[in-house]
Structure 1
Amino acid sequence: MVKNLNIKALDRKKRKGEGKRLKTKTDTKKGQYIKSALPRNTINDLAFDATLRAAAPYQRVREANGLAVIIKTEDLREKLREKRTGSTIVFVVDASGSMGVKKRMETVKGAVVSLLTDAYQKRDRVGLVSFRKKDAEVLLNITRSVDMAEKCLRDLPTGGKTPLAAGLLKGYEIIKNEQRKNSDLLPILVLVSDGRTNVALGEGDSFTEALEMGKRIAGEGVQMIVVDTEVDFIKLGLARKLAAAMGARYYRIEDLEADVLAEAVRDLSKESSF
């Protein structure tokens, strides 16, 4: 079981939400002043110290006109602040029939419950989607309740075909629905699968469809992790290909057991940009 899943990250997209998990840039006057920058638009949070430092070298060559300090427009600097916000973490789990399915499920259960336990303090919200047979199912709606999670995970059904694209779509729908309620939460999707799929939403190739679905999700700013559960002697590497196409962090099931997933989620938004 994965232990101590503490998530810490620096999210570089400006958000207004409240939370304790992730350090994030904010355009409000709340939060810790970390540095200054040239203003992009109208200044509403002037950095006096940085402005004075920018103007200081030019005081001798500027006309004083009775002023002690001459400040020009090009000297102005604004404050960049940092605060903490929460995240929405959705696990999308392959529950189809395959080798190592019991091992995989036990690991995933431990990870979800650990994240939920930590979410009490960090204001994160966690959900769980499984996909098997011909469709995907929401097993755990976005919540912070450890008791609900454990009850839901205890009897997680497994077996059947693998509708990977359906699973990704369902996870994406949960995230989008949550963002409509709170657009300031950082969305994270954790896909746990070997990448094999044999059920498509449409009439095309099921793996190509999953690739396109993953690219679409990543294109909307959702941070992604792929945990590869492939255990066969002959490895196809489909989960790795999927991760590469989505720009996701890639880990094997062995890495998840080694508590590397926690580190991945901590650092996810360090790679974001303004």
Structure 2
Amino acid sequence: MVRRFAGRRSRTRTERKRGRYIQSRPSYGKADDLAFDATLRAAAPHQREREEDRQRVAFSVRPSDYMRKVRVRRAANLILFLVDASWSMAVAERMQATKGAILSLLTDAYQRRDRVGLIVFQKDRATLVLPPTNSVTLAQRALADIPVGGKTPLSAGLKLAYDVLMRERMLHPDVMPLLIVLTDGAGNVSMGKLPPHEEAYRIARQIAEEHIHSVVINMEHVAFDQGLAQALADQLQAPCYTIGELKAENLYQTVRKEMQTTQLNPMPDERR
């Protein structure tokens, strides 16, 4: 599955019998969604050696000749922001930049069916502040007042992000998810009995195993950076960025870059 551009202009390979037929590939004997033209071309060179078959049929086609269609269709993006709202970082600056980036993405996505959501985590819980939407109006209302302060329940935030993305994948199988995590990686609250970082990394590996494309924005000051954001990115199998000046435009451009230039892993039904 390859993202060519953002949103409705994205070309996405699909295993479902919808979309435009662009090429073919061997089906290894399966007769599902056959590409008849390609199957006939694959069988044509073998007609002389199949004289016995041709005593019964004019043209011999065997399961080994079967070719199936490769289709592409337009798919929408889902950008889910996961933001640390604890006192561990410059929370006001981070929230202002995130809100601005969300509104910019929604404005840009109006014609492309893209949707954007926001989860914040602070104190002892994570909250879905903005369920995935393509409505700028709903986003403005939801983003007006976001609670901040307290400890850093990183694992709770990752778990809620995982649940939201998996639910969206079930409801919209062709959606292309992108998880943007803004944190310094310094989780200090667990949901269960595991140490905070061990619990967070376990959930991060679950997200990576589901082939969900993620990006970590390291919010720790370079002078105090302990490498925790990079460690989280490693578990997510994601790139880790440090934005020199955290502004809405810079964050927006970082997200757009990931949407436009990366090759996303296949969805579960397309793995081989």
Fold match, TM over 0.5? yes
Shift of 1:21: 5.2
> Take 2:181 and 2:17, find their aligned partners in 1: how far apart are those partners?
36
TM-score normalized by the length of structure 1: 0.81
Superposition pairs for residues 22-61 of structure 1, below 5 Å?
A: 22-40=10-28, 42-61=30-49
Shift of 1:269: 4.9
Shift of 1:180: 4.2
Shift of 1:151: 2.8
> Take 1:239 and 1:94, find their aligned partners in 2: how far apart are those partners?
12
Matched, 1:9 2:12: no
Q: Given the superposition, is the C-alpha separation of residues 107 and 34 from structure 1 closer, same or farther in structure 2, using an over 3 Å criterion?
A: same
* Structure 1 residue aligned with 2:137: 147
Q: Given the superposition, is the C-alpha separation of residues 73 and 152 from structure 1 closer, same or farther in structure 2, using an over 3 Å criterion?
A: closer
> Take 1:172 and 1:46, find their aligned partners in 2: how far apart are those partners?
36
Q: Aligned letter for 1:51?
A: T
Structure 1 unpaired stretches of 5+:
1-7, 11-18
* Structure 1 residue aligned with 2:264: 270
Structure 2 unpaired stretches of 5+:
none
> Take 2:149 and 2:245, find their aligned partners in 1: how far apart are those partners?
24
CA contact (8 A) 1:226 1:243 kept: yes
Q: Aligned letter for 2:136?
A: V
Shift of 1:224: 1.9
TM-score normalized by the length of structure 2: 0.82
> Take 1:179 and 1:72, find their aligned partners in 2: how far apart are those partners?
37
CA contact (8 A) 1:21 1:87 kept: no
- Larger deviation, residues 117-126 vs 254-263: 254-263
Q: Percent identity?
A: 41
> Take 1:262 and 1:52, find their aligned partners in 2: how far apart are those partners?
43
* Structure 2 residue aligned with 1:13: none
> Take 2:57 and 2:42, find their aligned partners in 1: how far apart are those partners?
17
Match of 1:93 among 83, 86, 104: 83
Matched, 1:234 2:228: no
Q: Aligned letter for 1:230?
A: E
* Structure 2 residue aligned with 1:4: none
> Take 1:255 and 1:268, find their aligned partners in 2: how far apart are those partners?
23
Q: Considering only aligned residues, what root-mean-square deviation do their CA atoms show, in Å?
A: 2.8
* Structure 1 residue aligned with 2:100: 110
Q: Given the superposition, is the C-alpha separation of residues 147 and 241 from structure 1 closer, same or farther in structure 2, using an over 3 Å criterion?
A: same
Q: Given the superposition, is the C-alpha separation of residues 246 and 59 from structure 1 closer, same or farther in structure 2, using an over 3 Å criterion?
A: same
> Take 1:71 and 1:184, find their aligned partners in 2: how far apart are those partners?
33
Q: Given the superposition, is the C-alpha separation of residues 72 and 171 from structure 1 closer, same or farther in structure 2, using an over 3 Å criterion?
A: closer
Matched, 1:224 2:247: no
* Structure 2 residue aligned with 1:75: 65
Superposition pairs for residues 154-193 of structure 1, below 5 Å?
A: 154-193=144-183
